[in-house]
Amino acid sequence: MFKNIAEINNFLQSKLRENNVAEVPLMEAARWLHDAGLLRDSQSSPGLPLRRMAIANKIFGAYKKQNRYWFIKRMPAYREMMSVEDVYPYLDLHHKKSVYTHIRRKKIPHIRLNDQFILFYKDEFFSWLILNNRQEKIDRQNREKFLTTRKHLEAIKQEIK
């Protein structure tokens, strides 16, 4: 199991939205991730891998309640994310390191998480692909995901209002 921060955050926020809960204890969220095969949980100290990620500010909506227990709250304006590994197949580049070159030159819209991790908003990335005449790289299935994501974002905007 690998730690794809974007995939973990997407999963947690969608699960919170799906279960219609405002927050969840970190231990329960760790069980969800372990059951989904996204993050292996520790046998000796349940929740430790996710707790370490929360301490490092890698988990959106993670906070400590009463300076004691960790919780993850649902983010109302959360936008789905993609990692460099997720983005690379859509770009017509010879090597994955070329993605970082494009990022350095500010050619690809991205965000930095804690000045360490590079992430991409899914809707923004696909819009950028379309605007930059890279439509041939978006296959039918991902185009449908993109449109679903856009509809989802519009629903979130309505929910906020």
**Per-residue pLDDT of the chain in tens (161 residues, 90 and over written 9):** 456 899 999 999 999 999 999 999 999 999 999 999 999 988 888 899 999 999 999 999 999 988 889 999 999 999 999 999 888 888 877 788 888 988 998 888 999 988 788 999 998 998 888 777 655 455 555 666 666 666 666 766 666 65
> Can you give the pTM of this predicted structure?
0.77
Q: Where are the domains of the chain?
A: 5-73, 81-160
* 3-state DSSP percent of the chain in helix, strand and coil, to 5: 50, 15, 35
Q: Which helix (H) or strand (E) holds 62?
A: strand 62-65
Q: Can you state the angle between helices 5-19 and 26-36, rounded to 10 degrees? A: 110
